[in-house]
Amino acid sequence: MIDMGVSVRKLNNALKSLGLTVDMLDAVIVTHEHTDHIKGLATFAKKYSVPVYMTNGTSHAVLQKIPYANNIIHTFCGGDGFDIGSAKIESFLTPHDANESVGYIISCDNITFGFATDLGFVSQNIKNMLSSCDFVVLEANHDIDMLKNGVYPYQLKQRVLGNYGHLSNAACAKCVVDLVQNGVKTVVLAHLSEQNNTPVVALRHINEMLFTFGLTCELFVAPVHEMEQPILLGMEVEQPCLALGSFA
Ligand SMILES: [Zn+2]
Ligand SMILES: [Zn+2]
């Protein structure tokens, strides 16, 4: 499981809807310490012993708030890789105002899955990493005009728009074109702002850009609050190696 931005109660309900329990998770991998990514971790660490992987920088920030999580936290350097069971995990540093934040590439049973949210821009390294994937979850945080004309205070607008903030629909669309040209077949747009974006606006941006380049791909939007139908990766295995039920 990637990140834990919901309460343990909500997590349990979500897993139950997939026929799973927390004990069936091999591990949790965390991108960074912002609350919308670790909200459930304080309670999780009291109740469960499932290993939770994060960078050294993220763990410093997390342990200041949740020192007892030390028992289940495993650390690595941002950019390093490791294995969880038969899954190969690679990480890449993301430009974001957090402490050593990362995105992930997960390879298992000949399927490669990439995850990149909370990034101010898509660096060449990130593009290269995601280009190797069959399936990518990518941030489409805001529509630039909606953000600029919206209710956020000036400082927050500058933070979101900055190189260590969040990815706009326009920047996401450019990246999706590159990824599809490199063979990525399916993209899930994620981490949409409720104030400064809508699924319709995000999809329009990405579809228009793909159309301009004469490209198509399978596109989904991860809902912000509820579980979406799982997308099962790995058609030939009875027990799919990756199931994505997504909270943004
Ligand atoms: Zn976030
Ligand atoms: Zn963040």
Question: Residue 70: exposed, middle, or buried by beta-carbon count in 10 A (0-12, 13-18, 19+)?
Answer: exposed
* Model pLDDT, residue 109: 87
Residues near ion ligand 1 (CB < 5 Å) are: 36, 118
Q: Kindly state whether residues 119 and 239 are assigned to the same domain.
A: yes
Report the separation in Å between the CA atom of 214 and the middle of ligand 1, taken as the mean of its atom positions.
Answer: 32
Q: Kindly state whether residues 146 and 226 are assigned to the same domain.
A: yes
pLDDT truncated to tens, each residue of the chain (248 aa)? 999 999 999 999 999 998 999 999 999 999 999 999 999 999 999 999 999 999 999 999 999 999 999 999 999 999 999 999 999 999 999 999 999 999 999 999 889 999 999 999 999 999 999 999 999 999 999 999 999 999 999 999 999 999 999 999 999 999 999 999 999 999 999 999 999 999 999 999 999 999 999 999 999 999 888 887 888 876 554 444 455 554 44
Distance, CA of 5 to CA of 238 (rounded, Å): 29
Q: Kindly state whether residues 37 and 147 are assigned to the same domain.
A: no
Q: Kindly state whether residues 69 and 116 are assigned to the same domain.
A: no
Which ligand is in closest contact with the Cα of 98? 2
pTM of the full predicted structure? 0.94
Report the separation in Å between the CA atom of 236 and the middle of ligand 1, taken as the mean of its atom positions.
Answer: 33
Quick check: 138 and 205 in contact, CB under 8 A? no
* Model pLDDT, residue 226: 80
Report the separation in Å between the CA atom of 96 and the middle of ligand 2, taken as the mean of its atom positions.
Answer: 7
> Do the domain assignments include residue 102?
no
Domain of residue 146, residue span: 109-248
Q: Kindly state whether residues 170 and 243 are assigned to the same domain.
A: yes
Q: Kindly state whether residues 113 and 57 are assigned to the same domain.
A: no
- Provide the domain count of the chain: 2
> Do the domain assignments include residue 91?
no
> Do the domain assignments include residue 82?
no
Report the separation in Å between the CA atom of 165 and the middle of ligand 1, taken as the mean of its atom positions.
Answer: 9
